[in-house]
Structure 1
Amino acid sequence: MPTECIPYNETGYFSSMICDYVAEKENITPFYHRFPKIENFKAQIEEKQTSQLTQVSQRKILSKALRNQYQTIKASDETLENIHKLSSTNTFTVTTGHQLNLFTGPLYFLYKIISAINLTKQLKEKYPSYDFVPIYWMASEDHDFEEISFFNFKGKKIRWNREASGVVGELSTEGLNEILQEFSKELGSGDNAKYLQSLFEDGYIKHANLAEATRYIANELFKKYGLVIVDGNDIELKRLFIPYIENELFQKTAYRNVAETAEKLTSVDESYKVQVNPREINLFYIQQGIRERIVEKNDRYSVLNTSVKWNREELKEEIHKHPERFSPNALLRPLYQEVILPNLCYIGGGGELAYWFELKKYFEAVEVTFPMLLLRNSVVLKTKKQSEKMEKLQVSNRDLFLSKDDFVAKKVKELSEINIDFTSQKKHLQAQFKELYELAEQTDKSFLGAVAAQEKKQIKGLMHLEKRLLRAQKRVLKDKTDRSREIQEELFPNGTLQERRLNFSEFYEVYGENLIPTLVEHLHPLQSEFLVLEL
């Protein structure tokens, strides 16, 4: 299948922080542990292996908790074997995480998980004496329902409208039958469409809550690859996190260390933006449909917007009796993940890695190994027909990444029989003014200012004429440029990356069960480039 890889810094869709990270620039190195190169994983394995967090007793708790979580679905032999392997100190994980978006949400859900699957394969080839398990961490304790309540299909937003409170993983799937009917009307009549309809129905209509439904769907899509799906909203797993919950509430280690790191990060480069600001307490309290922040004042603790209150001793008792009621926020969740998993590497998007960069000093303070951080694969999928159209219109893969205005300007200049580039005229004008500057040097120096002002005025005039000519040619060549813009809009809908807008079902309906194996074949997680893939 035809492919092309484009460096991230040439796409225009990644922040300077992420581009600097991928390029291994020195200014970003203090904020991560080891760069994700295959040869660097040996030291990461050895460091994680010596950690008390990977001892047999904790691994057995993890393995048992996962077996309990899988009771509501039929796991593959590969997945069950991987869950069993996690009890061995010779097994390590590669983890990615994602929200419980309706029907998986945007396409990059697939790319995250496939990046994790493929990295575990590469690690097994390089380090055959160890085992490696791909993990999908469900963000079941999030509470932002609006972000996850829809998916896009064939240009239509299919949205689940309902009242929601508390953590999203515990939301009842009641009412999703109406969404199934709406989705079914948009689907075709082929076998692939029927599979998508049954996948939605079996996931959401036959499971009680959003976490169980998401686990079922992710398992169905990736079970042959041994993917293990973890729900952190689990009392046995939370028990392993109790010391860190107490540290967060009574020592506030995260607040001090993350705030200091965030300040250093922004001082390194003014273009670096802080992704998440720490709170004094980065924990929520969850119970009976609520998820509210815990706050402290004068050694008294309370849950916002509730009547729940404790003194220090009462709070300690609550933590040990009900650890499942304490939920980490976006900054603390990475620590929770690394405490309960024998994890080597976290795979995420640019925004995710940006907040991980704030956490290294905090991890050191609480003596937890900081994972390697890998930018997930990014892909544009196009059909053979679209490739043929691009070739006919002389649109390159790199052209697609241009902004709308830059794309049209480039096509106009290529199509125009008139030379719209006034560079040669500008050079000729500058040569003439060079002579005037030499003349000015021989007379009153005040004449220099007049020459400079005139040069600036005439260069600006040429630039204005160039823009006027470009606009005129845009009108003349509108039909031709519109055809080129159509293909760009197809592949970059609404001027955004395809992977952030389209749902996998749009491609699965056409390519069926070949879609995921094709992606698994062509996505290379350590390659660090944007992939354009013709299906």
Structure 2
Amino acid sequence: MLDCIAYQETNYFSPLIIDYLNKNKKLDIFYNRFPDLINFQKQIEEKKKNYKAEHRKILVQELQEQYKNLPVSKKVETNIRALEKDNTFTITTGHQLNLFTGPLYFLYKIISTINLAEELSVKYPLQNFVPVYWMATEDHDFAEINFFNYRDNKISWDIDSSGAVGELKTERFDQVIQSFQSVLGDSENAQYLINLFKKAYAQHKTLADATRYIVLELFQDTGLVILDANSKKLKETFIPHIEDEVFNQTAYEQVEQTSQQLQEANYRTQVNPRGINLFYLKPNIRERILYEDGKFKVNNTVFEFTESQIRKEIKEHPERFSPNVIMRPLYQETLLPNLCYIGGGGELAYWFQLKSYFKSQQVTFPMLLLRNSAIIVSEKQQRKRQELNLDFTDLFLPQNELVKQKTKQLSAIQIDFSSQKEFLKKQFGDLYKLANDTDKSFRGAVAAQEQKQINGLMHLEKRLLKAQKRKLKESLERIMQLQNALFPQKSLQERQLNFAQFYEENGELLIKRLQNELKPLDLRFKIITLPY
């Protein structure tokens, strides 16, 4: 069973994203083309003209090197080879290297990417479309990725870390494996999960390798290509943009200007550009590059360069220059023959700040697609929802509002005093006429008395609502329990829970159902019912 709810009705998406989905004209200047199926033709034509053929060759060589010792499916092998051809384009998503994939929406991003590539292959059979997962191996915020939630348990990997997370050694994992295993059941699916976890983190040397293994295992037959762009060969393609950023600092000027335009249109900006939007990367080091006192300095280190020295460093060691959130999208679109980036609301928000910067660098700005969002509901939960006479739009309400609405619906007594308030206003209308006909100073006393009476009715209404809540306590608690189960921590399920919770109950059916039911160009929030 599949159902949907408009993003506009969920109360979980920003005004910026809602206006984008509504194709609000004031956002037109911040993106290239809206992700309608028909618009991909023009995006293909533009990208084809503006993508360097030599980048294809370098990309394919690097992918073949990264996959050299991995079990590669026929479909992945075919997709990598296809990237050499000028009629092959990518659909890309990116994500951090969260422990055991982290939040559930990690799967939604990848499946959205796979499904869009397949949909485009049907629409445009003369082109090839390759889904790509860009691993955020250069990220350094370990605290964001070192855990995942399984049911009511937080499974975490607690070590001291520095530098790029992709290079972290997967050591001291015995305790993490034990923690996860202790909360799993003993079913066949539970055994699969713990074996996948052990093989990923005990048999691979780095976090990047472990993450690649998990994604390969979960999506081995889809043709998904996994890319680690932290590579000297790949960054050589980005040298002109690194040099421009270091010496001209174009990004700051362009992104600041666009950010100001967004703010003037009453939107919040997601990121703030720096003077130089690059980090310096070495083992256990990823620190900002600063320009101070005529020299280029690496923050919190002894490294510093003159202009000639840093030019030499860029030319000889481009792998040591790591783009931040402002420049990473440009690196991706320079390197890949990419048509569309698929991301969450927060990601799209910072992409909207980048269009003019892309134009200054003469790089095609990709189409931006909001990833699928979904809530997974069991058949048992669906039955409970129906028994409680709840629509899914009800469950998306803030809990206090939900309880208030359902109390009024379930109450045998009318709690809404609107008619009494209207009657009161009519009665005071006569007093106002009297005040106008006699002493107008009397009007203030009438107004004060009217407000006092209205406040009294409002107080009685609240007292009655509170009394009815007590009377209907059992039914309301069932409603709250269901909402709490579906919206853990009063947040979207996809942001809090890990796929393992659902895989243990449903096995391979989970991935298959998501692949069948997540439609990337159907811009609605999905409600997916599974048997467990």
TM-score range, shorter chain: over 0.9
Q: 1:83 aligns with which of 80, 85, 91?
A: 80
Q: Deviations over 1:337-372 (max 9, x none)?
A: 100001111111111111111101111111111111
Matched, 1:204 2:201: yes
- The 5 Å alignment of 1:260-339 reads 260-269=257-266, 272-339=267-334
Residue number in structure 1 paired with 2:472: 477
Residue number in structure 1 paired with 2:429: 434
Deviation at 1:89, TM superposition (A): 0.8
Residue number in structure 2 paired with 1:423: 418
Instruction: Answer yes or no: is the 8 Å Cα contact 1:180–1:201 preserved in 2.
Output: yes
Partners of 2:174 and 2:44 in 1: how far apart? 46
Partners of 1:411 and 1:515 in 2: how far apart? 33
Partners of 1:202 and 1:5 in 2: how far apart? 37
Partners of 1:447 and 1:382 in 2: how far apart? 61
Partners of 1:401 and 1:520 in 2: how far apart? 24
Please tell me the residue identity of whatever aligns with 1:397. F
Partners of 1:211 and 1:248 in 2: how far apart? 27
Partners of 1:139 and 1:368 in 2: how far apart? 21
Partners of 1:457 and 1:18 in 2: how far apart? 43
Deviation at 1:259, TM superposition (A): 0.7
Partners of 1:29 and 1:436 in 2: how far apart? 55
Residue number in structure 2 paired with 1:152: 149
Matched, 1:348 2:347: no
Using the aligned pairs only, state the percent identity: 54
Matched, 1:56 2:53: yes
Q: Deviations over 1:97-141 (max 9, x none)?
A: 110000000000000011111111111111111111111111110
Residue number in structure 2 paired with 1:176: 173
Q: 1:460 aligns with which of 440, 451, 455?
A: 455
Q: Deviations over 1:291-315 (max 9, x none)?
A: 0000002431010111111111110
Instruction: Answer yes or no: is the 8 Å Cα contact 1:72–1:212 preserved in 2.
Output: no
Residue number in structure 2 paired with 1:99: 96
Deviation at 1:421, TM superposition (A): 1.1
Please tell me the residue identity of whatever aligns with 1:377. N
Change (3 A) 1:146 1:436: same
Residue number in structure 1 paired with 2:498: 503
Matched, 1:9 2:4: no
Residue number in structure 1 paired with 2:518: 523
Q: 1:115 aligns with which of 101, 112, 121?
A: 112
Higher deviation after alignment, 435-444 or 113-122: 435-444
Change (3 A) 1:191 1:444: same
Structure 1: state its 5+ residue gaps: none
Partners of 1:297 and 1:439 in 2: how far apart? 77
- The 5 Å alignment of 1:26-41 reads 26-41=25-40
Partners of 1:413 and 1:506 in 2: how far apart? 35
Partners of 1:132 and 1:290 in 2: how far apart? 36
Q: Secondary structure at the match of 2:340?
A: strand
Residue number in structure 1 paired with 2:134: 137
Residue number in structure 2 paired with 1:375: 370
Deviation at 1:449, TM superposition (A): 3.6
Deviation at 1:55, TM superposition (A): 3.0
Q: Deviations over 1:373-415 (max 9, x none)?
A: 1111110101101111111122221111111111111221122
Q: Deviations over 1:209-246 (max 9, x none)?
A: 00010011011111211001111111111100000000
Please tell me the residue identity of whatever aligns with 2:525. F
Partners of 1:454 and 1:94 in 2: how far apart? 66
Q: 1:185 aligns with which of 182, 187, 206?
A: 182
Q: Which runs of 4+ in 1 moved over 4 A?
A: none
Higher deviation after alignment, 72-81 or 197-206: 72-81
Matched, 1:245 2:242: yes
TM-score by length of 2: 0.97
Q: Secondary structure at the match of 1:327?
A: strand
Please tell me the residue identity of whatever aligns with 2:411. S
Partners of 2:503 and 2:290 in 1: how far apart? 46
Partners of 2:72 and 2:462 in 1: how far apart? 61
Deviation at 1:425, TM superposition (A): 1.4
Please tell me the residue identity of whatever aligns with 1:203. A
Partners of 2:174 and 2:208 in 1: how far apart? 17
CA-based RMSD: 1.2
Q: Deviations over 1:163-190 (max 9, x none)?
A: 1010000000011222112111111111
Q: 1:74 aligns with which of 71, 75, 79?
A: 71
Matched, 1:21 2:16: no
Partners of 1:487 and 1:515 in 2: how far apart? 21
Q: Deviations over 1:182-215 (max 9, x none)?
A: 1111111111111111111111111000001001
Deviation at 1:418, TM superposition (A): 1.3
Higher deviation after alignment, 188-197 or 41-50: 188-197
Deviation at 1:491, TM superposition (A): 0.6
Please tell me the residue identity of whatever aligns with 1:8. Y
Partners of 1:494 and 1:465 in 2: how far apart? 32
Partners of 1:454 and 1:353 in 2: how far apart? 53
Partners of 1:137 and 1:199 in 2: how far apart? 21
Q: Secondary structure at the match of 2:341?
A: strand
Deviation at 1:476, TM superposition (A): 1.9
Partners of 1:434 and 1:67 in 2: how far apart? 83
Please tell me the residue identity of whatever aligns with 1:353. L
Q: Secondary structure at the match of 1:174?
A: coil
Instruction: Answer yes or no: is the 8 Å Cα contact 1:254–1:278 preserved in 2.
Output: yes
Please tell me the residue identity of whatever aligns with 1:31. F
Residue number in structure 2 paired with 1:44: 43
Deviation at 1:435, TM superposition (A): 3.2
